[in-house]
Structure 1
């Protein structure tokens, strides 16, 4: 009963979303809130300074009535992402508001303060929801700024991560957003592109993307798709075909990269994390291709693939148990 009344808060302020979550020491999710960063029509993102400003406002709004949901529960720890990746020198200004807010909360409540990375939070939330139990696995992190194949080893709290493949130039998310903005969609565009691709029932031309062992390049298809869009603007069938071509090419090349990495690393479990991995097209097509090669693809629900603070809260819970000497359930 005491564990149920003690909670860990997680905070994440990424390039796209302000998030706050709470989980009790029994591992039950108490709350998960998020608010997107507003992007002007026609733009492909926001400046870091604008993101910082919006995060400050969003944090005040998201945390305003949090006491009503957590009730009389004691906040024993606060964990926030303070950098994009768990490597030296990894830094983005947008993570500062969330971590500073966490510092303030810890100072006022007397809770323990922990820091993690945005990437570890993505992996933790996806792993927790997918049910994957392996301590060593591959993770395909697909987001607005990242398309990386990672070799992941679990630690007491967080992960040791090595990049073993992925895109050498733009990310899958950047490609989809750029195509979507060209089509006149609001940023971020991944959901619209995904819906278009699923509606397409024809045969689309195949796009060539260079690849080298576990690595691929995605920027080469951008120019060709731009030309198709400009020549057939306003045609819904064209929009569906372009969307299908882009996602189909991404799946085909990631498939080859994952096959290479799975064989060379001797690892057959692949966890999909990051907002782009919430694509239904990718899960259906790439998931099916991997199954044929006896590679186990692990997916989570979209809420835990998209930016969220659940992973930060879970990692904070691990830190807390590790320091206290108690044992937490594997998540």
Structure 2
């Protein structure tokens, strides 16, 4: 696949609306981030204990246009200055995705600029290239988010092999469900991470599939917490949360480092919302004498459009454009870039 050679760095406008974050960004070249804006809906959905799809879609409609205008103002360019429009087309909530893709199609058509559909999961991986421009494949990726948990071998920029993935709940999903069991609020990952810092890891929760190759399973761990809360109502929520977090993070770290060491690959890239977890970073840092560990800044761990721009850049320089027939794929996996 030929890579375009251009006298100037392309400017990519990115849109991310796969769930409850409305995000836009403008990227020049590989790593010159001109604008990166995110409108979070956490406070809107918190009262429901989770994301309400229809509400999320309506909020995207309300803010996407205004957020885009603000991005161009911040970047000090006009829409005509961009070279392409990139947008996440899956996986995610169908209504939310449709808002972003429809908006991107409108921009592409009205400006006469190429349209680039980006796999949201691929975007999470590419967030690391924004903070580490010299990072190059091959490397191992631990992708941990609310909807996905997988170990990937990144052979080249657009060449991924799935080494292992969750058979049921994703890591972020397990965090949210356990937070709900403990009545800690939404989203579960950040609150469990925070209260665990001053708690005791008193309880030995199971680590399913710990030594069974590289797949994950977190549903049984969540159920163990549910039964523990029922049987031991006097136990402190903080200690239960800390013990649960220890079990899930131990499993993630064990499997990804085991694979990297076995395959003699020195670089491990962490991607997805759970990449922000402080215990995950702490436990991975313990391997820094053997491995190079990469994880993006906190703002690039959760859903954002900068990562969609960066993934879009790789497709742009390879002439991998989409037509206006681009459709959303709510259950999109990593097999389609």
Alpha-carbon separation, structure 1, partners of 2:108 and 2:265: 39
Alpha-carbon separation, structure 2, partners of 1:95 and 1:164: 27
Is 1:210 the counterpart of 2:208 in the alignment? yes
Taking the TM superposition and a 5 Å limit, the aligned residue runs for 1:219-258 are: 219-230=219-230, 238-258=236-256
Taking the TM superposition and a 5 Å limit, the aligned residue runs for 1:12-51 are: 12-25=16-29, 27-37=31-41, 38-47=44-53, 49-51=54-56
- CA displacement at 1:194 relative to structure 2: 0.5
Q: Any idea what the Cα deviations from partners look like across 1:5-36, whole Å, max 9, x if unmatched?
A: x6311111122312110012373111111122
Alpha-carbon separation, structure 2, partners of 1:203 and 1:176: 16
Counterpart of 1:61 in structure 2 is: 66
- What is the TM-score when the length of structure 1 is the normalising length? 0.83
Alpha-carbon separation, structure 1, partners of 2:253 and 2:303: 24
Alpha-carbon separation, structure 2, partners of 1:310 and 1:160: 21
What is the aligned counterpart of 1:109 among 87, 108, 111?
A: 111
Say if 1:184 and 1:208 are closer, same or farther in 2 by CA, change over 3 A.
closer
Alpha-carbon separation, structure 1, partners of 2:214 and 2:181: 29
Q: Any idea what the Cα deviations from partners look like across 1:64-123, whole Å, max 9, x if unmatched?
A: 433322334512211111122xxxxx9944322212111111222222221111011111
Counterpart of 1:165 in structure 2 is: 164
What is the aligned counterpart of 2:86 among 71, 79, 88?
A: 79
Q: Is the 1:269–1:298 Cα contact (8 Å) retained in structure 2?
A: yes
For this pair of structures, how many residues does the alignment match? 308
Say if 1:56 and 1:153 are closer, same or farther in 2 by CA, change over 3 A.
farther
After superposing the two structures, state which structure 1 stretch, 90-99 or 68-77, moved more: 90-99
- CA displacement at 1:132 relative to structure 2: 5.5
Alpha-carbon separation, structure 2, partners of 1:253 and 1:66: 40
Q: Is the 1:129–1:304 Cα contact (8 Å) retained in structure 2?
A: no
Alpha-carbon separation, structure 2, partners of 1:210 and 1:72: 51
Taking the TM superposition and a 5 Å limit, the aligned residue runs for 1:261-300 are: 261-288=259-286, 290-291=287-288, 294-300=290-296
- What is the TM-score when the length of structure 2 is the normalising length? 0.82
Alpha-carbon separation, structure 2, partners of 1:178 and 1:110: 45
State the SS of the aligned residue for 1:94.
helix
Q: Any idea what the Cα deviations from partners look like across 1:122-157, whole Å, max 9, x if unmatched?
A: 1111232145622111111111111111111333xx
Alpha-carbon separation, structure 2, partners of 1:160 and 1:210: 29
In structure 2, list runs of 5 or more residues that go unmatched: 1-6, 321-337
Counterpart of 2:130 in structure 1 is: 128
Root-mean-square deviation (Å): 2.6
Q: Is the 2:88–2:117 Cα contact (8 Å) retained in structure 1?
A: yes
Taking the TM superposition and a 5 Å limit, the aligned residue runs for 1:158-197 are: 159-197=158-196
